[in-house]
Amino acid sequence: MTTLCFFKYLSTDSRSCNVLHISSTFLPKCVNFPLTKRLFADDFSISLISSNPDRATRILHMTLDKITKWSSDRGYRFSDQKTVKVIFRKRSTRPIPIPSLHLQNFKIIIKFCTKFLGLTFDNNTTWTPHIKILRAKCHNALNILKYLSHPRTGVSRELLLQLHNSLTRFQLDYGAPIYSHSNKSSLKLLNTI
C-alpha cells in the first residue's frame, strides 16, 4: 500500500507570496523518514510506502499533527477541497481499510485520481485518466490548427508547425517518461494525435 497526500496552501496572511515561499521551506522539516515529501510553490505532497496499514496510519497521523501545529503557528491554512489522499495499491491485493486522516480540523477526502504538477495520478497507476485528459486537450488544439490551416484564409506551413509544437507537442512531451509505462490500450488513445 502506498498512501499519498496532496496539499494546497492558502495563506491567511495579507503579505506577499514570497513570505509564503520562504516560510514553506521549513515545512518539509515536519516530514521525516519513512515519509517522502515534495514541495513546489504552493503544492506539497507526502507519501509513504508500507505493507502494514496500521503502521502507515499511525505515521501519517503523527506527521499530520506536526504539519497542523506548524501551519497554525505561522498562520497558514490548507484548502479542505484541494487537500486529498490517494491510496495506490496493486490490483490483485485484497481490500484494505481506508484510514481516516485529519488536518486542521477537517477530514482529508479520499480520491481515486487527482492532479499534481500537471499530471493526473490514479490509484491503480494506469495513467488512463491522465491520457484521456491529455487527448481532449490535444484535440482542442488540433481543432484550432484545422481552422487556421484553411486553404484560402490559412497561415503558412512554418507557422502551423510552430503552433503545433507549442500547442500539442509540449503537452505530449510533459510527463511522457512516466505515462509511457501505461498499458497499450491506454496509449492507443494518443495514436490519433
pLDDT tens-digit readout, 98-139: 778 888 889 988 888 888 888 898 888 889 999 999 999 999
Residue 19 pLDDT:
44
| pTM exceeding 0.85 | no
In DSSP notation, 50-102 reads: -S-HHHHHHHHHHHHHHHHHHHHHHTEEE-TTT-EEEEE--TTSPP-PPPP-E
CATH of domain 2-119: 3.30.70
- Domains of the chain, by residue range, sit at 2-119, 128-190
Distance CA 81, CA 154 (A): 44
Distance CA 71, CA 13 (A): 12
The grid cell for 126 is: 494506469
Through-space distance between the first and last CA atoms of the chain, rounded to whole angstroms? 35
Distance CA 20, CA 24 (A): 6
